[in-house]
Amino acid sequence: MKKILSPMEKMDFPESEELPGGVREIEAEDTFGYCTELYTDVEYAVHSGKKLHLQIMTPTVFGQDLKWPLIVYVQGSSWHKQNLFQSLPTLARMCERGYAIAIVEHRESDLAPFPAQVIDVKTAIRFLRLNGRSYHIDTDKISLWGDSSGAHSALIAGITGNTKYLPEEYPEVSTEVDCIVDWFGPTDLMAAVQHPAVIDHDSSTSPAGILIGGKSLHDHPEDVYPTNPVVHLQPDRETPPILIMHGGRDPLVPFNQSCILYEALKQMDKEVEFVKLKNAGHGWGGFMSETALNIVENFIKREK
């Protein structure tokens, strides 16, 4: 009869001494961080008849009562229909570092113009605060991050907080966040037309024109005005710390857009960090790097 061994504690498990001839032995080392879990198409709301979803990624929890700080990510898309998995490789690297990630789907601008996208982001934040326990999320530690048009929505959502553009759902739940990461987001759309770009920002059929309802920007300045994150800054109201990162050769969103935001924040003595990626374009040429992610993580850790 074979001997039956009782289960052992993991940390007490012995190293096998077997080593057949020709076997190569190396020292074990994990350099990727945590394994990850992916929860796809988590419905968080129905707005304008459209089901809206979250793609949630968390570090794997092996029977431990752990809670992860949350990064709510708004994928850029020129405010059109988003490719929600476009930034997944980058965000997976942040998840490996010990963060829960929630990628927000918002209404496209031709379905619902501004401020629909901001309202959707805030709805997602409320949903995640209410349901964070199911995903091992620390709902007291929420950062908001977006790229391009997603950064624009993230900026306005984070700056306005509980003051305006509030969703109907979960009115008792806060939409405030700890900090905002702005990767090459547009800010002053009227000023964008005065700088070199590869698209016409002023046209009624441009991304910015569709955002305000299919109108030319210069013909409708009253509709453009509230789309500028700067106009929502208030000297006497606390603003979440903001990290701005922008490529110096961005052909879509002029680098000056981030300069406008940075100067306004500094003038009001708001906490802001601005990093220019020399020779980087619109999300390439430096953003897909450990250096860029280290800057983001160090900023988030500092603001927790």
Share of the chain above pLDDT 70, in %: 96
Domain count, the chain: 1
The CATH number that applies at residue 264 is: 3.40.50.1820
Q: What is the DSSP string of the chain?
A: -PPPPPP--GGGPPPP----TT---------S---EEEEEEEEEEEETTEEEEEEEEEE--SS----EEEEEEE--STTSS--TTTTHHHHHHHHHTT-EEEEEP---TTTS-TTHHHHHHHHHHHHHHHHGGGGTEEEEEEEEEEETHHHHHHHHHHHHTTSSS--SS-TTS----SEEEEES----HHHHTTS--SS-SSSTTSHHHHHTTS--TTT-HHHHGGG-GGGG--TTS----EEEEEETT-SSS-THHHHHHHHHHHHTT--EEEEEETT--SS-SSSSSHHHHHHHHHHHHHH-
Average pLDDT over residues 66-77: 97
24 in a structural domain: no
Higher pLDDT, residue 279 or 304: 279
CB neighbour class for 203 (10 Å; exposed up to 12, middle 13-18, buried from 19): middle
Task: Inform me whether the pLDDT recorded for 113 exceeds 70.
Answer: yes
Domain span holding position 59 = 33-303
Q: What is the mean pLDDT of the chain?
A: 94
Residue 2: its pLDDT value, please? Answer: 60
CA pair distance 164, 169, nearest whole angstrom: 14
Residue 9 lies in a domain: no
pLDDT of residue 1 exceeding 60, the answer is no
Q: Is 5 inside any structural domain?
A: no
Tell me the per-residue pLDDT of 232-257, one tens digit each, with 9 for 90 and over: 999 999 999 999 999 999 999 999 99
Q: Are 195 and 185 in contact (CB under 8 A)?
A: no
Residue 39 lies in a domain: yes
Pairing of strands 100-104, 179-183: unpaired
The share of the chain scoring above pLDDT 90, in percent, equals: 83
Q: Is 51 exposed, middle or buried (0-12, 13-18, 19+ CB in 10 A)?
A: exposed
User: Does residue 167 carry a pLDDT above 90?
Assistant: yes
Number of CB atoms found within 10 A of residue 44's CB: 23
pLDDT at 24: 92
- Give the count of alpha carbons within 13 A of 49, CB side only: 2
Residue 83 has pLDDT above 70, yes or no: yes
Q: 77 lies in a domain?
A: yes
Q: Mean pLDDT throughout 100-123?
A: 99
Instruction: Please name which of 144, 58, 159, 67 lies closest in space to residue 106, comparing C-alpha atoms.
Output: 144
Mean pLDDT of 28-44: 89
pLDDT at 104 over 70: yes
Asked if the model's pLDDT at residue 44 lies above 90, the reply is yes
Is residue 63 pLDDT above 90, yes or no?
A: no
Residue 192 lies in a domain: yes
> Residue 23 contacts by C-beta under 8 Å, 6 or more apart in sequence?
none
In the predicted model, what is the mean pLDDT of residues 96-125? 98
Domain assignment of residue 7, yes or no: no
Residue 2 or 301, more confident: 301
Residue 160 has pLDDT above 60, yes or no: yes
14 lies in some domain: no
pLDDT for res 66: 86
Q: How confident is the model at residue 143, as a pLDDT?
A: 99
- Give the tens place of pLDDT for each residue, 128-155: 999 999 999 999 999 999 999 999 999 9
Residue 64: pLDDT band by 50, 70, 90 thresholds? confident
C-alpha 38/C-alpha 58 separation (Å) is 7
Residue 185 has pLDDT above 60, yes or no: yes
